[in-house]
A = this chain, B = another copy of it.
Protein backbone atom coordinates (compact mmCIF):
# COMPACT_ATOMS: atom_id res chain seq x y z
CA UNK A 1 0.00 0.00 0.00
CA UNK A 2 1.37 3.41 -1.00
CA UNK A 3 0.09 6.87 -0.02
CA UNK A 4 -0.04 9.54 -2.71
CA UNK A 5 1.71 12.85 -1.95
CA UNK A 6 -0.69 15.51 -0.70
CA UNK A 7 -1.02 17.50 -3.94
CA UNK A 8 -1.57 14.35 -6.00
CA UNK A 9 -4.11 13.10 -3.44
CA UNK A 10 -6.04 16.37 -3.68
CA UNK A 11 -5.89 16.25 -7.48
CA UNK A 12 -7.16 12.64 -7.46
CA UNK A 13 -10.10 13.30 -5.16
CA UNK A 14 -11.13 16.88 -5.89
CA UNK A 15 -10.37 17.24 -9.59
CA UNK A 16 -10.51 13.72 -10.99
CA UNK A 17 -13.05 12.54 -8.33
CA UNK A 18 -11.52 9.09 -8.18
CA UNK A 19 -12.94 6.51 -5.75
CA UNK A 20 -11.79 3.09 -4.48
CA UNK A 21 -11.40 0.60 -7.30
CA UNK A 22 -10.38 3.23 -9.90
CA UNK A 23 -7.22 2.49 -11.82
CA UNK A 24 -4.37 5.01 -12.10
CA UNK A 25 -0.70 5.15 -13.08
CA UNK A 26 1.88 6.09 -10.46
CA UNK A 27 5.60 6.73 -10.79
CA UNK A 28 8.31 7.16 -8.19
CA UNK A 29 10.37 9.77 -10.04
CA UNK A 30 13.36 7.42 -10.17
CA UNK A 31 12.32 5.37 -13.16
CA UNK A 32 9.66 3.05 -11.70
CA UNK A 33 6.10 3.22 -13.03
CA UNK A 34 3.11 1.05 -12.12
CA UNK A 35 -0.52 0.55 -12.83
CA UNK A 36 -2.21 0.98 -9.44
CA UNK A 37 -5.67 0.79 -7.94
CA UNK A 38 -7.18 3.19 -5.45
CA UNK A 39 -7.76 1.30 -2.16
CA UNK A 40 -8.79 3.93 0.40
CA UNK A 41 -9.78 7.57 0.19
CA UNK A 42 -9.87 9.38 3.54
CA UNK A 43 -9.96 13.16 3.55
CA UNK A 44 -6.62 14.23 2.11
CA UNK A 45 -5.13 10.78 2.15
CA UNK A 46 -5.31 8.43 -0.81
CA UNK A 47 -3.83 4.94 -0.57
CA UNK A 48 -3.20 2.84 -3.64
CA UNK A 49 -2.20 -0.77 -4.26
CA UNK A 50 0.52 -1.22 -6.89
CA UNK A 51 -0.42 -3.73 -9.58
CA UNK A 52 1.99 -4.57 -12.39
CA UNK A 53 5.00 -2.48 -13.35
CA UNK A 54 4.64 -0.73 -16.72
CA UNK A 55 7.32 0.32 -19.19
CA UNK A 56 8.00 4.05 -18.97
CA UNK A 57 9.62 6.06 -21.75
CA UNK A 58 13.20 4.95 -22.25
CA UNK A 59 15.74 7.32 -20.70
CA UNK A 60 18.42 8.68 -23.05
CA UNK A 61 21.58 6.59 -23.23
CA UNK A 62 23.89 9.59 -22.79
CA UNK A 63 23.22 11.72 -19.68
CA UNK A 64 22.96 15.36 -20.77
CA UNK A 65 22.53 18.15 -18.22
CA UNK A 66 21.14 21.41 -19.59
CA UNK A 67 22.67 24.50 -17.96
CA UNK A 68 20.67 27.48 -19.24
CA UNK A 69 21.09 31.09 -18.18
CA UNK A 70 17.97 31.98 -16.19
CA UNK A 71 15.47 33.61 -18.57
CA UNK A 72 12.76 36.06 -17.57
CA UNK A 73 9.44 34.88 -16.12
CA UNK A 74 7.42 32.37 -18.07
CA UNK A 75 10.12 31.83 -20.66
CA UNK A 76 12.12 29.91 -18.06
CA UNK A 77 9.04 27.86 -17.15
CA UNK A 78 8.62 26.82 -20.79
CA UNK A 79 12.32 26.07 -21.06
CA UNK A 80 12.23 23.75 -18.02
CA UNK A 81 9.14 21.97 -19.32
CA UNK A 82 10.61 21.42 -22.77
CA UNK A 83 14.04 20.35 -21.44
CA UNK A 84 12.40 17.67 -19.28
CA UNK A 85 10.26 16.52 -22.21
CA UNK A 86 13.40 16.20 -24.35
CA UNK A 87 15.12 14.00 -21.78
CA UNK A 88 17.49 16.39 -19.98
CA UNK A 89 19.14 14.52 -17.08
CA UNK A 90 19.03 17.62 -14.87
CA UNK A 91 18.59 21.36 -15.25
CA UNK A 92 21.37 23.55 -13.87
CA UNK A 93 20.21 27.20 -13.81
CA UNK A 94 23.07 29.64 -14.48
CA UNK A 95 23.49 33.26 -13.51
CA UNK A 96 25.61 35.02 -16.13
CA UNK A 97 26.90 38.55 -16.71
CA UNK A 98 23.72 39.44 -18.61
CA UNK A 99 21.25 37.54 -16.40
CA UNK A 100 18.88 39.99 -14.76
CA UNK A 101 18.53 38.18 -11.43
CA UNK A 102 21.18 37.35 -8.82
CA UNK A 103 21.80 34.01 -7.09
CA UNK A 104 20.66 35.56 -3.80
CA UNK A 105 17.40 36.85 -5.30
CA UNK A 106 16.73 33.44 -6.88
CA UNK A 107 17.34 31.71 -3.55
CA UNK A 108 14.84 34.02 -1.83
CA UNK A 109 12.22 33.52 -4.56
CA UNK A 110 9.86 30.60 -5.11
CA UNK A 111 11.10 30.06 -8.66
CA UNK A 112 13.21 26.96 -8.00
CA UNK A 113 10.33 25.09 -6.30
CA UNK A 114 8.14 26.25 -9.17
CA UNK A 115 10.54 24.72 -11.73
CA UNK A 116 10.57 21.49 -9.70
CA UNK A 117 6.77 21.30 -9.91
CA UNK A 118 6.93 22.01 -13.64
CA UNK A 119 9.49 19.21 -14.06
CA UNK A 120 7.11 16.74 -12.39
CA UNK A 121 4.18 17.92 -14.51
CA UNK A 122 6.28 17.62 -17.67
CA UNK A 123 7.22 14.03 -16.76
CA UNK A 124 3.54 13.17 -16.43
CA UNK A 125 2.74 14.78 -19.79
CA UNK A 126 5.58 13.16 -21.69
CA UNK A 127 5.46 9.68 -20.14
CA UNK A 128 8.86 10.05 -18.50
CA UNK A 129 9.28 8.21 -15.17
CA UNK A 130 12.53 9.84 -14.06
CA UNK A 131 12.12 13.35 -12.69
CA UNK A 132 15.21 15.44 -13.52
CA UNK A 133 16.67 17.43 -10.65
CA UNK A 134 16.50 21.21 -10.77
CA UNK A 135 19.91 22.05 -9.32
CA UNK A 136 20.76 25.07 -7.19
CA UNK A 137 21.70 28.04 -9.36
CA UNK A 138 25.39 28.66 -10.03
CA UNK A 139 27.27 31.49 -11.65
CA UNK A 140 28.71 30.59 -15.07
CA UNK A 141 32.23 30.69 -13.58
CA UNK A 142 31.29 28.37 -10.71
CA UNK A 143 29.81 25.96 -13.24
CA UNK A 144 32.99 26.08 -15.34
CA UNK A 145 35.06 25.38 -12.21
CA UNK A 146 32.93 22.45 -10.98
CA UNK A 147 34.82 19.20 -10.64
CA UNK A 148 32.99 16.46 -12.48
CA UNK A 149 33.85 14.28 -15.40
CA UNK A 150 31.07 15.41 -17.77
CA UNK A 151 32.11 16.79 -21.14
CA UNK A 152 31.42 20.55 -21.07
CA UNK A 153 29.81 22.28 -24.02
CA UNK A 154 29.01 25.97 -24.34
CA UNK A 155 26.54 27.00 -27.05
CA UNK A 156 27.68 30.11 -28.93
CA UNK A 157 26.82 32.07 -32.06
CA UNK A 158 29.11 31.27 -34.98
CA UNK A 159 30.83 34.66 -34.87
CA UNK A 160 31.40 34.62 -31.09
CA UNK A 161 34.63 32.67 -31.05
CA UNK A 162 37.19 31.34 -33.47
CA UNK A 163 37.33 27.92 -31.89
CA UNK A 164 33.83 26.46 -32.18
CA UNK A 165 32.50 23.26 -33.66
CA UNK A 166 29.23 22.69 -35.54
CA UNK A 167 26.80 20.51 -33.63
CA UNK A 168 27.07 17.84 -36.37
CA UNK A 169 30.70 17.34 -35.46
CA UNK A 170 30.38 16.90 -31.69
CA UNK A 171 31.25 13.27 -31.08
CA UNK A 172 29.47 11.16 -28.53
CA UNK A 173 30.67 11.68 -24.93
CA UNK A 174 30.06 9.42 -21.92
CA UNK A 175 28.06 12.23 -20.36
CA UNK A 176 27.77 15.96 -21.01
CA UNK A 177 26.62 19.30 -19.65
CA UNK A 178 25.71 22.12 -22.00
CA UNK A 179 25.55 25.81 -21.07
CA UNK A 180 23.28 28.12 -23.07
CA UNK A 181 23.47 31.90 -22.75
CA UNK A 182 20.82 34.48 -21.87
CA UNK A 183 19.02 37.05 -23.98
CA UNK A 184 21.93 39.11 -25.30
CA UNK A 185 24.39 36.20 -25.20
CA UNK A 186 27.70 35.71 -23.43
CA UNK A 187 30.06 38.61 -22.72
CA UNK A 188 33.59 38.62 -24.15
CA UNK A 189 34.86 38.18 -20.60
CA UNK A 190 32.78 35.02 -20.12
CA UNK A 191 33.92 33.57 -23.43
CA UNK A 192 37.55 34.18 -22.46
CA UNK A 193 37.10 32.46 -19.08
CA UNK A 194 35.32 29.54 -20.74
CA UNK A 195 38.08 29.19 -23.33
CA UNK A 196 40.74 29.09 -20.62
CA UNK A 197 39.00 26.13 -18.94
CA UNK A 198 39.02 24.09 -22.13
CA UNK A 199 35.30 23.74 -22.82
CA UNK A 200 34.02 22.82 -26.28
CA UNK A 201 32.24 25.72 -27.97
CA UNK A 202 29.41 24.50 -30.18
CA UNK A 203 27.31 26.30 -32.82
CA UNK A 204 23.92 25.70 -34.38
CA UNK A 205 24.32 26.86 -37.97
CA UNK A 206 24.14 30.40 -39.20
CA UNK A 207 20.72 31.47 -37.94
CA UNK A 208 20.19 33.59 -34.86
CA UNK A 209 17.81 31.78 -32.51
CA UNK A 210 15.71 33.35 -29.78
CA UNK A 211 17.16 32.75 -26.31
CA UNK A 212 14.16 30.64 -25.31
CA UNK A 213 14.28 28.44 -28.41
CA UNK A 214 18.06 27.88 -28.51
CA UNK A 215 18.28 25.34 -25.64
CA UNK A 216 15.54 23.14 -27.12
CA UNK A 217 17.03 23.26 -30.59
CA UNK A 218 20.49 22.47 -29.18
CA UNK A 219 19.23 19.54 -27.06
CA UNK A 220 17.39 18.09 -30.05
CA UNK A 221 20.35 18.54 -32.38
CA UNK A 222 22.84 16.90 -30.00
CA UNK A 223 20.57 13.94 -29.25
CA UNK A 224 19.97 13.49 -32.98
CA UNK A 225 23.68 13.56 -33.77
CA UNK A 226 24.29 10.98 -31.04
CA UNK A 227 21.30 8.91 -32.31
CA UNK A 228 19.87 9.15 -28.80
CA UNK A 229 16.52 10.87 -29.28
Contact = CB atoms under 8 A, between A and B. Distances in A.
Interface in A205-220: 205-210, 213, 216-217, 220
Interface in A40-90: 57-58, 81-82, 85-87
Contacts of A167: 224, 229
Contact of A229 (B87, B128, B221): B221
A206 B86 contact: no
A78 B69 CA distance: 21
Count copies of this chain in the complex. Answer: 2
A168 B126 CA distance: 20
B210 A213 contact: no
A225 interface: yes
A227 interface: yes
A208 B125 CA distance: 7
Interface residues of A, number: 31
Contacts of A221: 220-221, 224, 229
Given A224-B224, A229-B221, A207 B168 contact: no
Contacts of A87: 205, 207
Interface string A156-170: 000000000011100
A126 B214 CA distance: 12
A221 B221 CA distance: 6
Contacts of A205: 58, 87, 223, 229
A213 to B, nearest CB: 6
A213 B86 CA distance: 10
B207 A57 contact: yes
Contacts of A82: 210, 213
A21 interface: no
A210 B125 CA distance: 8
A94 interface: no
Given A58-B205, A85-B209, A125-B208, 8 more contacts: A57-B208, A126-B209, A167-B229, A205-B229, A213-B216, A216-B216, A217-B220, A221-B229
